[in-house]
Amino acid sequence: MLEYTGPGESAGAQTTLEATKNRGGRTSKAHLAAMFFAMAIVVGLVVDAFLSQPAVALPATVNPLPAGMRGDLSVMTYNVKGLPWPLASGRPEALAAIGQRLAQLRRMGRQPQVVVLQEAFIPEAKAIAREAGYAFVATGPQGRPAPNEDQAATRAWTLGETGEAHVDSGLVLMSDLPIRRAERAAFPAVACAGYDCLAAKGVLVAELALPGGGTVRVATTHLNCRKASGTSSQRSDAAYAQQAAFLSNVLARSRADGVPTILAGDFNQGQRPDRIAMLHGALDKVPGAEREDALSRRFDADPAGMARLAGAQWIRHKARDMQFTFDGSPARLMPVGIEIPFGTEPDGSMLSDHMGYTVHYAIRRGSQRA
């Protein structure tokens, strides 16, 4: 397995904790905030801690897609809830089961070519790539500096907003396709709200070599949550708007050469008109943007087929885990099939609090749309 570190990246593309030591005693406060964070989450998840059962590896239940729905490129997005105990219980077993499921799909020749993970914080989450047999891996931002003293004065240290990030971004991209280069950037120190500030959330963009020649980019991100952030909706939404604008700028810069791009991740949008407007308003500024996400486009193209796909309507209604496309010149990315390798298990449980689904894309020339 090749861990891609991106030689030749710009100095601003990778933020490290070593370069941003905290000053003025805020580090100790941030550590205390992290403790408060842990205790708050423990209270919220106490029922989970007592009732969760270890996950077991179950056979993949995904039915093979017809040949015409497999496309030229497959991308899966999955928030794997890779949180440490006591923030969540039973995670090592569940994460091992995820890796085993992907490995089983590989043995069947049905694994997604590219997988992007969110909340892959603990080692067991990062080990999914190795367990699943992916040869190329890139990780997201590893750190984020603390805000300066003036910025910190208006932020809540009890929520971890005044210190540097305590954990990495939790973003992982694993691929069967060679990674030519990768760019990673953490959101600015003031572009977060609440407990989200304890992680170095940001953007990861990887340039991949397509079989037979050609290039595609796949990007992933994880935007600020709302209620679980521990702060007001007004403050979390303000951070969300900043993050969406930052994401748009990163993508617009990388799209200057016209390479088609897929953006997949946990957007924490939901059915909230304000967040829908913030996110889509930002992404619409990126050249080649398709207004609808890939799953919704498949619902438009094949409503009957999508209605029969267990979990698809749940994913669409939650509107957290989405994939967006940005067409190239003249290549177009057209979603032609959907699979849900990680939905509801036969016993009604899930391996995460999200579902993991794969979009199959056809890469076509000209102006034809799905």
pLDDT in tens, 277-327: 999 999 999 999 998 999 999 999 999 999 999 999 999 999 999 999 999
Give the pLDDT confidence of 227-241 residue by residue, as tens digits: 888 888 899 999 999
Least confident interval from 8-17, 25-34, 96-105, 160-169: 8-17
Confidence of residue 52 (pLDDT cuts 50, 70, 90): very low
Confidence of residue 248 (pLDDT cuts 50, 70, 90): very high
Residues 6+ apart with CB under 8 A from 318: 270, 354
Per the prediction, the chain carries an average pLDDT of: 84
Distances from the Cα of 259 to the Cαs of 97, 126, 153, 204, 217, in angstroms?
Answer: 35, 28, 42, 16, 7
Is the sign of the CA dihedral 243, 222, 195, 315 positive or negative? positive
What is the distance between the alpha carbons of residues 365 and 72, in angstroms, rounded to a whole number?
13
Q: Is the distance from CB of 302 to CB of 244 less than 8 angstroms? A: no
Q: Is the distance from CB of 160 to CB of 166 less than 8 angstroms? A: yes
* Six token digits for residue 229: 């952030």
Buried b (16+ CB within 10 A) or exposed e, 40-71: bbeeebeeeeeebeebebeebebeebeeebbb
Which is higher by pLDDT, 266 or 68? 266
User: How is 67-111 classified by DSSP, letter by letter?
Assistant: GGGS-SEEEEEEEEEEPPTTTSSSHHHHHHHHHHHHHHHHHTT--
What is the distance between the alpha carbons of residues 23 and 366, in angstroms, rounded to a whole number?
55
What pLDDT shows up at residue 93? 96
Q: Is the distance from CB of 244 to CB of 223 less than 8 angstroms? A: yes
Least confident interval from 57-61, 325-329, 355-359: 57-61
Give the pLDDT confidence of 298-310 residue by residue, as tens digits: 999 999 999 999 9
Instruction: Say if residue 369's pLDDT is above 60.
Output: no
Instruction: Say if residue 139's pLDDT is above 70.
Output: yes
The angle that helices 233-254 and 273-283 make with each other, rounded to 10 degrees, is: 20
Instruction: Say if residue 201's pLDDT is above 80.
Output: yes
Which is higher by pLDDT, 332 or 7? 332
What is the distance between the alpha carbons of residues 234 and 163, in angstroms, rounded to a whole number?
21
User: How is 246-284 classified by DSSP, letter by letter?
Assistant: HHHHHHHHHGGG---EEEEEE---TT-HHHHHHHHHHHT
Confidence of residue 330 (pLDDT cuts 50, 70, 90): confident
Strand partners, 262: 218, 325
* pLDDT (average), residues 176-182: 98
- CB count within 10 Å of CB 299 equals 18
What is the distance between the alpha carbons of residues 75 and 324, in angstroms, rounded to a whole number?
11
Instruction: Say if residue 43's pLDDT is above 70.
Output: no
Give the pLDDT confidence of 58-94 residue by residue, as tens digits: 444 566 777 667 789 999 999 999 998 778 888 999 9
Confidence of residue 332 (pLDDT cuts 50, 70, 90): very high
* Six token digits for residue 217: 């980019």
* pLDDT (average), residues 101-125: 97
Q: Which fold has domain 25-365?
A: Deoxyribonuclease I; Chain A (3.60.10)
Confidence of residue 276 (pLDDT cuts 50, 70, 90): very high
Peptide bond into 330 cis (omega under 30): yes
Q: What is the pTM of this model?
A: 0.84
Instruction: Say if residue 36's pLDDT is above 60.
Output: no
Residues 6+ apart with CB under 8 A from 105: 60, 62, 111, 112, 341
Q: Is the distance from CB of 275 to CB of 232 less than 8 angstroms? A: no
What pLDDT shows up at residue 275? 97
Q: What are the backbone angles phi and psi of residue 336, rounded to the nearest 5°?
A: -120, -10
* pLDDT (average), residues 258-276: 97
